[in-house]
Amino acid sequence: MTKHISIGQRIAAVVLALAGASSWAAGADQQLIKQGEYLARAGDCFACHSVNGGKPFAGGLGMATPIGKVYSSNITPDKKAGIGDWSFADFDKLMRTGVTKAGYTVYPAMPYPSYSRLSEADMQALYAYFMHGVQPDPTPNRKSDIVWPLSMRFPLTIWRWMFAPKPVPYQAPASSVANTANAQLLRGAYLVEGLGHCGACHTARGLGMQEKALSSLDSREYLAGGAVIDGWTVPSLRNEHGGGLAAWTQADIVAFLKTGRNGHTASFGAMNDVVAHSTQYLTEADLASIAGYLKSLPPKNNAKPFASDPAVGQALYNGKPATEGALLYLNKCAGCHRSDGQGYAKAFPALAGNAVLQTADGTSAINIILSGGAVPATHTAPSALTMAPYAAELNDDQVAAVVNFIQTSWGNQGGTVTAKQVAKVRKTAVPVQPLTAAAFAAGRSDTLPRPVVAAGPVDKRDTK
């Protein structure tokens, strides 16, 4: 603990020594703050602790839970509204145990069970960043909409006792991760299981809203796909068929996390923010580590690999759609995704063999047809290619027919859906939002994380 305090004091001394609040950082401390900034991106703190158009990390984002809406807190160094008067020990305790400086336990929307794995050095860097790399903002925290008695915080303490792991800094496991000698795998595990908190969405939750597994060591439930979030099916990230990453190379995973797209698919739904705010900023080395780690996770399911079936594509090409779904697909979808479902590289995602369409739950397919989707714009792949919503074009029966066509054609092995399911998704489907003039307004960069990586060389793989 002495060490932590000494680092905190050292930074405070530097701050005091400098005349202006904006010129705080110098030398090694600036390095520490930069490292913290990088880690904050890896942890995607921005995504939950900022609202669109608000100040970064000022909190206020509402998150729906089964018992009511909770709002993220202000984690800027504002002394009153934020965490400006927190010591490193306070910060460390919250990050590892979910217990605030004031002594109450936060809602498990804050993935402290994952963050508990952070190394001491990284925790110190994060603290340095939040104390000295973020602008203080006086926006007060917002109370949750959860009504009494569910609003009582003490059950959260019990939840924590039951499900949160013992908070110890991350230790490389002795034996269980395949190839533990491989530093890259360990780095990948550290990022995915720790700051990346991928399991928060991609691992199924138990009855108490706890993630069924918190690391690859726990069980094959880990990252085997979670519940539907905001109308999007959350796929498996394990090296398995039937919705997982088995058909992707490590390079495909890196490209996806860096640019939101690869030759197989394009990001949509909740993953867009993760790519835009977090993964695009990670170094190639860290992305490769994540990819290597994910590819090392053995399958949980026993799905067979995708086997292409050319019959449907040929029928469409010859203008002979066999079903209403096929005809709708030909009229509405094939212009981009093509009659053989192959799409066009990174521009228009392939549907044949697309992992999303191999899952039993067709919710994502329903939602993307109703709501449309936009690929997240990133620094190295800035085009937010957008598919327009079809909610106004197709009724529930028609959407179901198209979904069932794409989930089962060309060799796809996804599950089918009913018009009733479509009607249910329709109630909460949010149409893809167009860009507005605000996307080019002055000061827009103040509400977004600043780019820390220069745009890389253009990826020419889809250039014929």
Partner 1 sequence: MADITLKKVEVVIVGFGWTGAIMAKELTEAGMQVLALERGAFHDTYPDGAYPKTLDELTYIQRSKLFQDMSKSSFTFRHAVSGVAVPYRQIGAFKPGTGVGGAGLHWSGQHWRVLPEELKLKSHYEHRYGKKFIPEGMTIQDFGVSYEELEPHFDFVEKVFGTSGSAYRVNGKVVGEGNFFEADRSDHFALPPQKVPYTAHLFQKAAAEVGLHPFVAASSNASGPYTNPYGCQMGPCNFCGYCSGFACYNYSKASPQVNIMPALRQVSNFELRPNCNVLRINLDGSGKKATGVTYVNADGKTVEQPADLVIASTFAYNNAHLFLVSGVGKPYDPVSGEGVVGRNIAYQTMSTVQMFFDPDKNTNPFIGSGGNGVAVDDYNGDNFDHGPLGFVGGSPAWCNPAGVKPIAGIPVPNGTSAWGAGWKRAVKDNYANTVSFDVHGANMVYRDCYVDLDPTYTDQFGQKLLRFTFDWKDNDIKMSRYVTDKMLDVARAMKPKSIHVSVKNFGDHLDLRSYQTTHWAGGTAMGTDPKTSVLNRYLQSWDVHNVFAVGSSVFPVGIGYNPTGLAAALTYWAAKAIREQYLKDPRPLVAA
Contact footprint for partner 1 (CB under 8 A): 332, 335-336, 344-348, 372, 374, 377, 379-386, 388, 393, 432, 434-437, 439-442, 444-445, 450-451, 455, 458-460, 462-464
Q: Which of 209, 388 has the CB closer to partner 1?
A: 388
Distance of closest approach, residue 396 Cβ to partner 1, in angstroms = 19
Question: Residue 125: CA atoms inside 13 Å, Cβ hemisphere, count?
Answer: 21
Contact 166, 160 (CB under 8 A): no
Q: How far is C-alpha 414 from the geometric centre of its chain's CA atoms?
A: 23
Distance of closest approach, residue 399 Cβ to partner 1, in angstroms = 15
Distance of closest approach, residue 213 Cβ to partner 1, in angstroms = 37
* Residue type present at position 159: W
Q: Which of 83, 394 has the CB closer to partner 1?
A: 394
Distance of closest approach, residue 245 Cβ to partner 1, in angstroms = 23
Residue 358's alpha-carbon distances to 108, 195, 222, 301, 353, in angstroms, are 30, 29, 19, 12, 7
Contact 139, 58 (CB under 8 A): yes
Q: Which of 223, 377 has the CB closer to partner 1?
A: 377
Rg (CA), the chain: 23
Q: Which of 85, 446 has the CB closer to partner 1?
A: 446
Q: Which of 74, 339 has the CB closer to partner 1?
A: 339
For CA atoms 225, 226, 227, 229, the dihedral sign is negative
Distance of closest approach, residue 234 Cβ to partner 1, in angstroms = 25
Contact 259, 395 (CB under 8 A): no
Distance of closest approach, residue 463 Cβ to partner 1, in angstroms = 6
**Tokens 């449309």 belong to which residue?**
372
Q: Which of 34, 379 has the CB closer to partner 1?
A: 379
Distance of closest approach, residue 265 Cβ to partner 1, in angstroms = 14
Angle formed by the axes of helices 2-17 and 27-42, nearest 10°: 120
Q: Which of 214, 384 has the CB closer to partner 1?
A: 384
Distance of closest approach, residue 445 Cβ to partner 1, in angstroms = 4
Q: How far apart are CA 322 and CA 328, in angstroms?
A: 11
Six token digits for residue 110? 């804050």
Q: How far apart are CA 225 and CA 303, in angstroms?
A: 14
DSSP calls for 257-302:
HHHSB-SS-B--TTHHHHHHHTGGGS-HHHHHHHHHHHHTSPPSS-
Distance of closest approach, residue 171 Cβ to partner 1, in angstroms = 39
Closest CA to 75 of 93, 96, 49: 49
Q: Which of 106, 375 has the CB closer to partner 1?
A: 375
Distance of closest approach, residue 346 Cβ to partner 1, in angstroms = 7
Q: How far apart are CA 376 and CA 389, in angstroms?
A: 16
Residues 6+ apart with CB under 8 A from 263: 252, 255, 345, 346, 350, 461, 462
Q: Which of 199, 325 has the CB closer to partner 1?
A: 325
Closest CA to 95 of 78, 114, 115: 115
Residues in the chain: 464
List phi, psi (to 5°) of 135: -75, 130
Distance of closest approach, residue 244 Cβ to partner 1, in angstroms = 26
